Chains A and B, each alone.
Chain A
Amino acid sequence: GAVVSQHPSRVICKSGTSVKIECRSLDFQATTMFWYRQFPKKSLMLMATSNEGSKATYEQGVEKDKFLINHASLTLSTLTVTSAHPEDSSFYICSARDRRGPAGELFFGEGSRLTVL
């Protein structure tokens, strides 16, 4: 089946630094990818929709200058957390839909756990 790979799986950084997370669709092309944030014991919160070749669409309340999204190719989207602060510590997950499969199946990356010290 379709596979989405996310890297890194864990990252610890100092406050004020920027962190880049990559999301790759390994065996299919994804014109659209989704970025989520998840707090412990909470559900996924959609942050933004990443569109290949165009600007990302951000959900209300998500700072686009804080969370930079680049979807440079049909298989790669990146999320950069700029000037990270401890409150940005969270589990970030990307997903993509393989249009060859069932209409509702989203394939998720393994997630990236960010800890900002």
Chain B
Amino acid sequence: DGGITQSPKYLFRKEGQNVTLSCEQNLNHDAMYWYRQDPGQGLRLIYYSQIVNDFQKGDIAEGYSVSREKKESFPLTVTSAQKNPTAFYLCASSMTGQSYEQYFGPGTRLTVT
């Protein structure tokens, strides 16, 4: 089956710890994205990558980091510098960086206490 997987579905961390969220796709898409969704809110773009070994900051990149060492994988690290890390995190991919549908993973709900 082709698609995007995110793991784990639920993640709990103590404040001050870094945590890495996994995102893998087997759709052979070049572009990948990370969004954050807060309750009752739309999606906000954290980081995106159009090609391996390259990525750009989105609207709310502060406190987050990413890597794109493989086409299939785009992990997101939520660092201790992120002041309000508790949220629902969504990963997406698309055929190119523009003008194509983005396919979303099932999301990871991160709770930091």
A, B co-complexed: no
A interface residue numbers (CB < 8 A to B) = none
